Chain A
């Protein structure tokens, strides 16, 4: 088991380095470089050249990349062109807010999606099942940000129950302000989890060993959870893993709908300000998070999937 974990963790290192390189390369395609943005219209060719030398922009891309990674390992992502503040500090200031949003969205999606999928599968073709299937179909098609806007329209503007934007400062206010954005981010994910749970539960529900368990007199709840769900879980975990990327992307957009002070809002603000190092830092941090989340999902497989377990059990 430890060998499997070690292998996955070691495999992550080249992937992360390559991901950072890809992002670094993309951001280097910006037509105006750092020196031009900083100096604006007052830049003379000489001062531009001097600043480029200072910032290391005259060196080949690969050297710049190595320097960036070296600084990154020390926790330094450079300074923002606009505010002159340290980007890593800015990002780690906002990261918890994004994590709160993303984690509560996953939680909502799992807590609603899996039970809905289970009940739907157990009561196949009933009114409940049809409703769930229909709602999930729509949930997978609705654009997240529009869902958020509709939520604001209904719950903030018409009913006045929930705040339309910004994060609450105290815990009760925070929770209240979290409801709309968290549900917004989780809409698509929740729909996908529901659909996957339903279909993989339906696959196991007709298996012979379920009948065997029932005829042995096993309680229905035990049959559902121990015999059905644990066997249906692998594809569900796969979908959750795949959805984490969708979810992180979704929170970037949702944060902008709700003026939620996370990385997603920071990255879009930075793009508007043409603050390339800040954009680079944000994309790198979110991609690293995404890779880590995928690693967790892969490790989770090892615990759930007996095939992997047996491979490494010696």
Chain B
């Protein structure tokens, strides 16, 4: 199992390094961009992701600009006369229909983007940082330190991810901060593994040796020479992790262990869906579609990145 990831990462790095030396004069990143643009699906996915980011940011701006007036009336404010109203094209507010409290599902889906995206990205960000430091130390120094760090990571990996997150929320209580902690900690070990593998493949190369001969400190060697070379595999892993995180956030919120109603988180919007099946299918369909589209785009984008960084790898 372990060997497999290591070889994949090794391949990524080797071909990535080879690209710079193929005489085309393009840098690795230019080469990658060129290759990425050829993958039409991945470009579409990137557009969807940019749109999601745009939605998240602009809804935040609306909140700030209207001092949450819009949020209070349309996102959490109830409109009981219109409850469970079916979707219609008459007004933007009714595009996806209304939920059991008469709130616009379309608006709530838009406003919910921020939870998935921001919690997902910040979670993975912290996990990359923590896992990166641990993995870099383990990979660079090797020996006993490597053994200790990686055995601890193995233990953390022996607890199924979702259950691990559920246990943390159960112990700390339900809140957005605790959800962040619960999503982050179980992510660290797999990140540490990826970074360790990447570091190990470059640490014995000549340019590292050269850096050391020039008197660079270990910290400088890791930060300046090793990590940039390991970046491609970390970025790919991080992108795919954000997708997993979004699924995790939605699942936990669905179980009422994450973001709580009335906040418009996509998973939380589905919690009560089962009670209204008979009268209103639209309550269930749209938030779930939003989750699927985001995760799908991230997966396609991540795969596209991987292919762009490593064209020789068959998929």
> Residues on A close to B: CB < 8 A?
15-16, 18-19, 22-23, 26-31, 137-138, 140-146, 149-150, 152-153, 157, 164, 199, 202-203, 235, 238, 241-242, 245-246, 248-250, 252-253, 256-257, 267-268, 270-272, 276, 279, 283, 286-287, 290-291, 294, 297-298
Contact = CB atoms under 8 A, between A and B. Distances in A.
Interface of B: 1, 4, 154-156, 158-163, 166-173, 243, 247, 250-251, 254-257, 267, 270, 273-274, 277-278, 281, 284-285, 287-288, 291-292, 295-296, 299-300, 314-315
15 contacts: A29-B172, A141-B295, A144-B251, A145-B251, A146-B284, A149-B270, A149-B273, A150-B285, A157-B277, A199-B314, A238-B1, A268-B255, A287-B158, A287-B159, A294-B158
Given A143-B247, A157-B278, A164-B274, 17 more contacts: A27-B167, A30-B170, A138-B292, A141-B292, A143-B250, A143-B288, A143-B292, A146-B250, A146-B287, A146-B292, A152-B277, A235-B4, A267-B170, A271-B170, A290-B158, A291-B158, A294-B158
Contacts of B247: 143
In the A-B complex, list the 5 residue pairs whose CB atoms are closest, starting with the nearest. Answer: A249-B162, A146-B288, A141-B296, A141-B295, A245-B160
Given A15-B154, A22-B155, A199-B315, A145 B270 contact: yes
A257 B254 CA distance: 9
B166 A137 contact: no
A286 B274 contact: no
A142 B4 CA distance: 26
B158 A15 contact: yes
B255 A248 contact: no
Contacts of A246: 160-162
Contacts of A164: 274, 277
A248 B292 contact: no
A253 B161 CA distance: 12
A146 B268 CA distance: 11
A41 B108 CA distance: 39
Contacts of A157: 277-278
B123 to A, nearest CB: 16
B292 A15 contact: no
Contacts of B159: 19, 22-23, 283, 287, 290
B255 A149 contact: no
Given A138-B292, A146-B288, A238-B1, A31 B173 contact: yes
Contact of B296 (A30, A137, A152): A137
Contacts of A152: 274, 277
Given A15-B154, A144-B251, A241-B1, A23 B167 contact: yes
B149 to A, nearest CB: 14
Given A19-B158, A141-B296, A291-B158, A202 B267 contact: no
A292 to B, nearest CB: 10
Contacts of B256: 272
Nearest to A297: B1
B163 A283 contact: yes
A149 B284 contact: yes
Contacts of A272: 256
B170 A149 contact: no
A253 B158 contact: no
B161 A249 contact: yes
B163 A249 contact: yes
B108 to A, nearest CB: 16
B171 A252 contact: no
Contact of B166 (A19, A146, A252, A257): A252
Nearest to B296: A141
A23 B300 CA distance: 34
Given A29-B171, A238-B1, A252 B162 contact: yes
B299 A140 contact: yes
A132 B250 CA distance: 26
